[in-house]
Copies of this chain bind each other. A is one copy, B any other.
Amino acid sequence: MLTIGKLGEAAGVKVPTIRYYEQIGLLPEPDRSAGNQRLYGQSALDRLAFIRHARELGFPLDAIRDLLSLSDRPDQSCAAADVIARAQLAEVESRLARLTALKGELERMVVQCAGGRIADCRVIEVLGDHSLCATDHQHPESEAAS
């Protein structure tokens, strides 16, 4: 049996994050010690490791929730799981395309700036006028930082 701290250490997840996952129903409520502290077994560790790895691969918690409930039914078809993974792949690919365009524009502007006064700064100039850009680089970004 693991305390929440040991569990977090073992899975590489911070303690408040574990409590948050429990709160949103991603982890089941564990047994408690006589003094009301959470006690976890191997299955909780497996589940948490699964969540962590899926998060590292960028899956949103909603998708992870679906993947977990699928993995609880080992005899069913994995088609739904594959759909979720392919959707995530598509999401990553679209972000990659966008970031590649952004990288190009940012490189252009830092390279073109000769480094004088603000009035002549290519960075400021380009930011104020998209027609100076070489690509379209629409906005849709995604995902949050750790």
Contact = CB atoms under 8 A, between A and B. Distances in A.
B99 A96 contact: yes
A71 B141 contact: no
A124 B57 contact: no
Contacts of A75: 117-119
A142 B144 contact: yes
A39 interface: no
A115 B83 CA distance: 11
- Identical copies of this chain, number: 2
Interface stretch (A1-9, A21-29, A30-38, A132-140): A132-140
Would you call the interface of chain A mostly helix, strand, loop, or mixed? Answer: helix
Contacts of A77: 115-118
Contacts of A117: 74-78
Contacts of A145: 140-143
Interface in A117-133: 117-121, 123-124, 126-130
Interface of A: 46, 49-50, 53-59, 67, 70-71, 73-79, 81-82, 84-86, 88-89, 92-93, 95-96, 99-100, 102-103, 105-107, 109-110, 113, 115-121, 123-124, 126-130, 137-146
